[in-house]
Structure 1
Amino acid sequence: MGTDRLNGSLYTSIDNKVATVEFGHPASNSFPGVLLERLTNEINLLSEHKDVSVILLKSEGDKTFCAGASFDELIAISNKEEGMLFFSGFAKLINAMRSCSKLIIGRIQGKSVGGGVGLIAACDYALAAESASVKLSELSIGIGPFVIAPVVKHKIGVSGLAELTLDPTQWKNAYWAKEKGLFARVFETQKDLDKEVDIFTSHLASYNPLALTAVKKSLWEGTDHWDTFLLQQAETSGTLVLSEFTKKALERFKK
């Protein structure tokens, strides 16, 4: 599918049982609602695809992996319903990734903020370049990472979530993320990263697909309630974003 400057792009290719899904947006690979919905639908479709054993998730370019949800759409929220709709986008994507029957491998080439960190945590396994630092900036604008908090905590524990959440202006480098378990491996260059991504996904795709699906299920044991829980979290964020503190903070960021 083609690129739309407003709604971004999404491309999928399938080769030797590996489905490569690449998303992109001119604003640092951020997600407007339309693109979030497209990626969610794509994950759901691939979950049922008989010729796919593994999904590789990546983003365009060589700088930012994902800047989270669209800042323009965040600023435009004017009521609780719009807020709920905005924040439920990532909730639905995380749930789609969690319940997908295929293992999802993340190729993380650059920085990630907010929802982008949640996206990484929702991958079953993530390989990263040294340039892949992470940050949760939500508290600095008067909200919190409520929608992605459960999946980040699931991946790196309460202490890791607290470290990211309570220090919203500081980047954590790729080796910190590896130490906490967000990344499985870190590579010096993107060339090294891509070489290993190819090898790793090829090996995975050669294994018994029934076994891969069973492993996937075991990795997400105890998260079945997230279908409703993450939407409740979205409601919390949708309410906070309307606060006077957040409106003023967003105006400062905009300027």
Structure 2
Amino acid sequence: MKFNNILVNDKEATAIVTINRPTKLNALNRETIQELHDAFEALEKDKGVKVIILTGSGEKAFVAGADISEFADFSEKEGGKLSAKGHKLLFDFVENLSKPVIAAVNGFALGGGLELAMACHFRVASHNARMGLPEVSLGVIPGYGGTQRLPQLIGKGRAMELIMTASMIDVDRALGYGLVNHVVSQEQLIEFCQKLASKISNNSPVALSYAIKAVNAGFKNSNGYDEEIKAFGACFGTEDFKEGTSAFLEKRKADFPGE
């Protein structure tokens, strides 16, 4: 699959998706959002890929925001459609992907960039990363999930302050808030994420997909406990459960078929 704005590199069980618009600080335009959707959709179907790492090209930005030039003259109706389509194609799509997605935040993650990082299942940042939702300084609000995911991750009060002040925070504050899981040097960022991906890849792909679904259910208009019970029971009917329990009892490493 050929892309204009992203790069996809498969290495063993880990795929690295790189947003590649360095002259635009990897800003998200409609074409890039569509390409990311297509890439994630293909990787989800690829049985050889167990974990996906998402990052930005260069040393300055993960994603510095949305490409404002594309929607500066939009009407109310067009703005609503833009948000709805973005949710469906990318942000909700990534959050609900059955395979773990790690955001490797290698610089500025602002506006849509931070919203994309928050849609990933967890985040690792380099020391130079800076994060924020500056939309209100442009007369608009975060439209790709920022008003929902940021409070879920760091709490309502902190999220309200960041959104209302349109401020950026550094990685120390982001780590303290729980917005990122780890902070490493930029040189070590991808390698660190690959090590995490390798640990994840040792586990059952089916169980991982059920775990993602159950955790996400607790943040939606559904009963997370009910979803957990349902998913827990479903695991018992999988080949991965048979292999995992057999390997444990036989004191050997499991070789999960992913079924």
Please state which band the TM-score falls in when normalised by the shorter chain: 0.7 to 0.9
Q: Partners in 2 of 1:131 and 1:32 — Cα distance?
A: 24
Partners of 1:101 and 1:114 in 2: CA distance: 25
Q: What SS does structure 2 have at the residue aligned with 1:131?
A: coil
Give the number of the structure whose alpha-carbon radius of gyration is greater: 2
| Structure 1 residues 27 and 221: alpha-carbon distance in aligned structure 2, compared to 1, 3 A threshold | same
How far has the Cα of 1:67 moved from its partner?
1.5
| Cα distance in structure 2, aligned partners of 1:13 and 1:3 | 12
For residues 81-111 of structure 1, what are the alpha-carbon distances to aligned partners after superposition, in whole Å with 9 as ceiling and x for unaligned?
3222322343121110121100101111101
Higher relative contact order (CA 8 A, sep 6+): 1
| 2:91 counterpart residue number | 94
Flag the 1:146–1:86 CA change in 2: closer, same or farther, 3 A. Answer: closer
Aligned partners of 1:59 and 1:50: how far apart in 2? 25
Instruction: Report the TM-score when normalising by structure 1.
Output: 0.79
1:29 aligns with 2:23: no
8 Å Cα contact 2:3/2:35 also seen in 1: no
4+ runs deviating over 6 angstroms:
none
Displacement, 1:19?
1.5
TM-score between both structures, scaled by the size of structure 2? 0.78
Q: CA deviation at 1:49?
A: 2.2
Question: Which amino acid in the other structure matches residue 94 of structure 1?
Answer: F
Deviation at 1:62, TM superposition (A): 0.7
SS at the partner of 1:69?
Answer: coil
Aligned length in residues: 219
- Identity rate, percent: 25
1:37 maps to a residue whose letter is Q
Contact 2:60 2:106 in 1 (8 A): yes
**1:46 maps to which of 43, 57, 61:** 43
1:193: which partner in 2? Answer: 189
Amino acid at match of 1:117: L
Give the C-alpha shift of residue 225 in structure 1.
Answer: 5.6
The 5 Å alignment of 1:100-249 reads 100-148=97-145, 149-168=147-166, 170-187=167-184, 189-223=185-219
Q: Deviations for 1:230-250, whole angstroms, at most 9, x for unmatched residues?
A: xxxxxxxxxxxxxxxxxxxxx
In structure 1, runs of 5+ residues without a counterpart are 227-255
- Work out the CA distance in 2 between the residues paired with 1:2 and 1:37: 12
CA–CA separation in structure 1 for the residues paired with 2:108 and 2:123 = 14
Letter in structure 1 aligned against 2:6: L
> Contact 2:14–2:194 (CA<8 Å) still a contact in 1?
no
Partner of 1:60: 57
